[in-house]
Amino acid sequence: MQTSVMFKNIDPSDHLKSYVGDKLNRFDRFLDNPAEANVVLAVEKFRHIAEINISGDRLNIVGKEETVDMYSAIDMVLDKLEKQIKKNKEKIRERRSASKNRNRSILEEEAGLPDEDVERQIKIRNIEYRVDA
């Protein structure tokens, strides 16, 4: 995942960049295609604000969190993003399965195929025959 980290009113630190990068790399297992993440870390008085925008894989997800500690803000916003991604992926999965089931039932109706629940009865007749020799 490509990440860009921007700092506002805080000294840029490599430790924070690597922390965010490591945490965002775990989202690669949820996303099918490569994604891009824009991270904004800001400090306003005593509030530490972490804002993350993830775009890619037909998704655009935004999360923002503010706490007294920067690391906890990052962790909390990543938890929010994980929930959003899972929820969105589940919606897509349900829509696909619903459309497949709907298409299958339409095709069965058009083809006039008998339902699987209907039992077929087979009649067997005993036919006697004689052999002239």
Domain containing residue 72: 2-82
Give yes or no for residue 99 having a pLDDT over 60: yes
Element of type H or E holding 133 = none
CATH of the domain at 67: 3.30.160.100
> Is 29 within a domain?
yes
Exposure on the CB side of residue 13, measured as CA atoms within 13 A: 11
**What Cα–Cα distance (Å) separates residue 30 from each residue in 66, 68, 93, 97?**
25, 29, 13, 19
- Taking only the tens place, the pLDDT of each residue in 39-53 is 999 999 999 999 999
How deeply is 98 buried, as exposed, middle or buried, from its count of CB atoms within 10 A (0-12, 13-18, 19+)?
Answer: exposed
Q: For residues 25 and 120, which has the higher predicted lDDT (pLDDT)? A: 25
> Is 129 within a domain?
no
Q: How many domains does the chain have?
A: 1
**What's the CA gap between 56 and 124, in Å, rounded?**
64
Structure tokens at 77: 């916003």
Confidence band of 108 (pLDDT split at 50, 70, 90): low
> Is 128 within a domain?
no
Name the pTM for this structure.
0.71
> Is 38 within a domain?
yes
Q: Give the chain's radius of gyration (CA, Å).
A: 30
> Is 120 within a domain?
no
